[in-house]
Amino acid sequence: MSVDISPGSHHGLLSSHLVRLIETHSEPLAAGLLARVRGCGRCKDLLERVPEEELRQRVFEIYSHLGEWLETASDSEIERRYTKIGEHRAMQGVPFSQVLLAILATKEHLWDYMDKEALFDRAFELYQIVDLFHHAGRFFDRAVYFASIGYERFQAARRRATAA
């Protein structure tokens, strides 16, 4: 993928007000997401194998630093972080489908929050919300991709070690 999301490539497009709103509400957003994941019934292994505080911290990290992730994080930073997360979840024995669902739920929870909380009365404010959704979607797409790379890397190393 050769889409540039490097620092400054989209500077000024995201509404600082919207990002600040998310960042200042990152604790309740993280708690709400965990409740959502616990209630969905599809992440049983994730919830059993990953300490809840670790899950909460990963989600809090995304929401509380959203502006940095969307406006200044390079692909290599996202790659480094999410490859490591993918490897770690594979090491913990979490099925990849549940890793994927957790990342997608994080994005969906953010979108639901923005849909509920964001008020706009001018076309430009609507544009800012759409722009934020677009950039957040790109970030989460990369997170999924790089987490899958890390997960596959761990699985391949385990197979090689077992075969030796």
pLDDT at 8: 41
pLDDT at 120: 65
User: Residues near 47 by Cβ (< 8 Å), separated by ≥ 6?
Assistant: 37, 38, 55
pLDDT at 97: 97
Here the CATH number for the domain that contains residue 71 is: 1.10.490
Domain membership of residue 4 (yes or no) is: no
CA distance 19 to 92: 32
pLDDT at 114: 84
| Count: domains in the chain | 1
Using only C-alpha atoms, the chain has a radius of gyration, in whole angstroms, of 17
Domain membership of residue 1 (yes or no) is: no
Reduced to 3 states, what is the DSSP secondary structure of residue 95?
coil
The two tokens of residue 36 are: 């959502």
Domain membership of residue 150 (yes or no) is: yes
Residue count of the chain, please give it.
Answer: 164
Residues of the chain with pLDDT under 70: 1-15, 119-121, 124
C-alpha separations of 1 from 78, 121, 143, 153 in Å: 13, 36, 13, 19
> At 33, which amino acid appears?
L
Reduced to 3 states, what is the DSSP secondary structure of residue 118?
coil
Domain membership of residue 18 (yes or no) is: no
Domain membership of residue 71 (yes or no) is: yes
The two tokens of residue 67 are: 């502006």
Domain membership of residue 8 (yes or no) is: no
Tens of pLDDT, residue by residue over 125-163, are 777 788 888 899 999 999 999 999 999 999 999 999 999
C-alpha separations of 26 from 19, 31, 33, 84, 157 in Å: 10, 9, 10, 22, 35
pLDDT at 151: 98
pLDDT at 1: 45
pLDDT at 13: 45
Note down the domain range covering 35: 24-163
pLDDT at 119: 66
| pTM of the complete model | 0.85
CA distance 147 to 154: 11
Domain membership of residue 121 (yes or no) is: yes
CA distance 164 to 161: 5
Domain membership of residue 13 (yes or no) is: no
The two tokens of residue 130 are: 């759409």
